Amino acid sequence: VNQCLTEAATRGIAMVPKLAVDVTSCEVMRVLQLTDSFIVPVSYSVPRKSGQDFHGDLYPDTPGDSPALPAEEWWSGGNKQVQKVSLDPAKRPIRSFSSAVIPCSVGGVKLEPTNQPTKKELPIEKNRKEEDASGQSSSSSLLTSPTTPSSLVQSPSTPSEPSSSLGTSCSQRSLQSILGPSSKLRHTQSLVLHRDTHITNLKGLNLTTPGECDGFCVNSKRVAVPLASAGGQIAVLELSQPGRLPDSAIPTIQNGVAVADFSWDPFEPRRLAVAGEDAKIRVWLVPEGGLKETVSEPQCILQGHTEKIYSLKFHPLASGIIASSSYDLTVRLWDLGSGREVRVLQGHQDQIFSLAWSPDGQFLATVSKDRKVRIYDPRKSAEPTQVQEPRACGACQRSGVWGPGFRQKDCLVLYHETCLIAGFQSVSLEEPPPSCLSDCFLCLQAFSFLPKSECDVREVEFAKALRLSKTSIEPVVFRAPRVRKEYFQDDLFPETAVWWEPALSASAWLSRSNGQHRKISLQPKGMTPVSEAPKEAPVRKYAPSSVYLEEKSDEQKKEELLSAMVAKLGNREDPLPQESFEGVDDDEW
C-alpha cells in the first residue's frame, strides 16, 4: 500500500495506538522507528481536506483503553470484549479523575506526582470541550491520559508542523534525576602533544604482564615500564627528558624475577614497589635525576606471602602503608618504614582479581573469581565486614566497585560500600563514550592519568595522561573548548586534594587515626575567575532583518549603482600615468 524510505537503519518499530492519531489532519496511522540514536515518528495521512469535519469513513470505532472485565471475573470464567469508542472528538467520552496516583520509586529515586488536579474534571478535558465548541480539536487530548502528570507532557506541535517532540516518559525523568544535569565536559577535545614531548625508540616492551597489572605506572616525574628481558628488568624514564632513546641498552632496575605488578609510592616519587612471581615485594629507590646505571640491590624486601602476588596498592592517605594480594588467598598490609607485615586479611575462597582502597583510607575492597565483593575494615578485623555476589566487577578507588550491566555493554553498575547487602543499582549509559576518548585508546598497550596539578589550566586542560604504545610513550591532554580562555575556568577546576602529600603517618593510621588531604586552588596568579569576569554585551553577528527587507525605490537603486560605478572608475580628472613619463623630441621620431 505504501513505502517509506527512512534516513537511518531500523533497530525496531512499533505502531502507536489508534487513539493517539491526529484525526483533524486525516492521520490514519503513526509508527515510531527506533534507530541507533533516535526515535523517529512516521505519520501516514490520507489526502483529504482537513479542518472541522470528521471523516467517519476513515475512522471506524476502535477498541478503547478501558478494561473489559476485572481479573477476578476472568478467573471465574467470564469473557467480554473491550468496548469500542469513537474517534470523533465531539463524541469522545470525558473521563473522570477517580483513580488515586500511587507514588513510585525508580532507580532508588522516589517519584512524587506534581501539580495533580483535585477536581473531577481535568484541565485537559476542560480545554477539549472549549476547543470542540469553537470547532477545533487539540491533539494533546489524544496523547495524554488522566494519570499523566502535567510536568511529564510536552506541548505537541500543531498539525501544520512536523511532530518532532515526544512526551518525556517517567523512566527518562527518573534517569535524569539519577545522572544529574548534562556534563560541562560533553564537548571535550583530546590532543596528543607534539612529538618533541614523546619518549620514542622504546624497545623490548613486555607484552605478557598479568591481567591484574596496570602495564606501566607513572607519577608526576617518571614512568616505569616492564621489559621483556630476562631477570624482570624495569625501565625508569624521566618525563623531564623526552626524546629518542639510544639504540644501545639503557639503565634498568634488575628485579631478579618476572614482574607481577608494580606501583609508585604516591608520597615519594622515587620509591617503586615491585611484586615478583617469587612471592616477594622488592622496594626500589631511584636516584635523583634518574637511573644512570643498572640497579640490582633493592632498598628492602618484604616476605610473607607463600605464593605468587597478584597486585599492589599504596594507601591513599597514610605514608608507607601498602596492601598486596596473592595466590595464597590472603591480603597483607605492610609498613615500609619498619619493613614488617602488620595485617593479614582472610576470607577469600578463590583467586583475587582486583584490590582497592576507599578514598578515605578506612576500607579495603576486593573482587575475586568466585564473583564476590568483599569489604574489609582492616584495622578492626581480619575477616570481611560485607560479602556480596554481584555480576562480574572490579574494585576502584572511588565510592564503591564497578561492573558491567545486564547486557555487558554500555552499562555501568555502581555498588556503594555501605549498602552492598541491601542491593544494587545500575545506570545504563545513554550515549557512547566521546570520540575524544575512543581516539586516544587506539593502538596502545596501557593508559595512565597524571595528577591534576600537571594540567595546563590556562589552556583549559582538565586531564592529562600518558599513552603507552609498543615503541613510544606519548602525553595526551583533554581540553574543554571555552571562548574566554583568558579567565580561570573555576567551574571546571574546583579545589583539588593534595593527594601527593601524606595526611598522616603509618603509625597514626595503624592506631586508628583518620585524616584527609588538604586542598589547593589551581588558579594561576594574575588570572581572574570566569565567574567574576565582567558580563559582555551580546554582539550581533548579522545585520537586522530590516536592513535586508527594506524596500528601495528605483531612483535609490539607480543612484547606488551609479555611485558604485564611479567609485570603481575613479576620478577622471586625475592625470593618466603615462602623462608623467618623459618621451623623446619630435625630430627624433
pLDDT of residue 542: 63
On the question of pLDDT at 505 being above 80, the answer is: yes
Question: Is the pLDDT at 262 greater than 60, yes or no?
Answer: yes
pTM score, two decimals? 0.57
Averaged pLDDT for residues 249-264: 90
Cβ-contact 463, 220 below 8 angstroms = no
pLDDT single digits (tens) 344-381: 999 998 888 888 998 889 999 998 888 888 999 999 99
Predicted pLDDT of residue 424: 37
Cell for 588?
627624433
3-state secondary structure of 511: coil
574 to each of 199, 281, 560, 567, 581, how far by Cα in Å? 67, 93, 23, 13, 15
Residue 470, pLDDT above cutoff 70: yes
Please name which of 20, 322, 336, 297 lies closest in space to residue 153, comparing C-alpha atoms. Answer: 20
Q: Is the pLDDT of residue 413 over 60?
A: no
**331 burial via Cβ count (<10 Å: 0-12, 13-18, 19+):** buried
- Rounded CA gap, 362 and 88, in Å? 67
**Torsion angle, alpha carbons of 71, 72, 78, 84, to 10:** -40
Which of 486, 483, 480 shows the shortest CA–CA distance to 529? Answer: 486
C-beta of residue 267 within 8 angstroms of C-beta of residue 298 = no
Would you state the pLDDT for residue 546?
61
Q: Strands (DSSP E) along 352-449, which ranges?
A: 352-357, 364-368, 373-376, 386-388, 394-395, 400-403, 411-416, 425-428, 446-449
Alpha helices (H) along 401-526 = 435-440, 506-510
Per the structure block, which three cell numbers stand in for 503? 595526611
What is the number of alpha carbons within 13 Å of residue 474 lying toward its C-beta? 19
Top pLDDT among 524 and 568 is at 524
* Burial class of residue 511, CB neighbours in 10 A (0-12, 13-18, 19+): exposed
What tens digit of pLDDT does each residue of 114-157 get? 444 444 444 434 444 444 444 443 333 333 333 333 333 333 33
Check whether 463 has a pLDDT greater than 60.
yes
pLDDT 10s digits, 4-55 = 778 888 999 999 998 888 888 888 899 999 998 889 998 888 887 766 678 8
Q: Are 465 and 446 in contact (CB under 8 A)?
A: no
Would you state the pLDDT for residue 188?
Answer: 80
Phi/psi for 324 (5° steps) reads -140, 145
- Radius of gyration of the chain from Cα atoms? 36
Amino acid symbol at 116:
Q
Total residue length of the chain: 589
Closest-CA residue to 284 (of 296, 271, 294): 271
Q: Using an 8 Å Cβ cutoff, are 400 and 418 in contact?
A: no
The string of pLDDT tens digits covering residues 215-238 is: 788 988 999 999 888 888 999 999
Across 73-87, 169-183, 555-569, least confident range = 169-183
Q: pLDDT tens digits for 56-94? A: 888 899 888 889 899 999 999 999 898 888 888 888 765
At 301 the pLDDT is: 92
What percent of the chain stands above pLDDT 70? 68
Among 11, 69, 13, CA closest to 44? 13
4 vs 510 pLDDT, higher one:
510
Sheet with 321-326, edge to edge strand ranges: 309-314, 321-326, 331-335, 340-345
The pLDDT of residue 100 = 39
Residue with cell 603507552: 468
Higher pLDDT residue, 388 or 128? 388
Average pLDDT, the chain: 76
pLDDT band at 159, cuts 50/70/90?
Answer: very low
According to the model, what pLDDT value does residue 185 have? 65
What is the structure's pLDDT at 545? 62
- Determine the average pLDDT of the residues in 204-210: 81
Amino acid at site 222: R
pLDDT tens figures, 284-314: 999 988 898 999 899 999 999 999 898 899 9
What confidence score (pLDDT) does residue 506 get?
Answer: 92
Reference 448, options 436, 466, 463, 464; nearest CA is 466
Residue 414: predicted pLDDT: 56
Task: Supply the pLDDT for residue 564.
Answer: 83
Cβ-defined contacts of 167-170 (< 8 Å, 24+): 167/143, 170/104, 170/106, 170/111
- CA 146-151-157 angle, to 5 degrees, is 85
What is the pLDDT at residue 442? 52
Cα separations in angstroms, 419 against 43, 422, 514, 549: 48, 5, 22, 66
pLDDT tops 60 at residue 450: yes
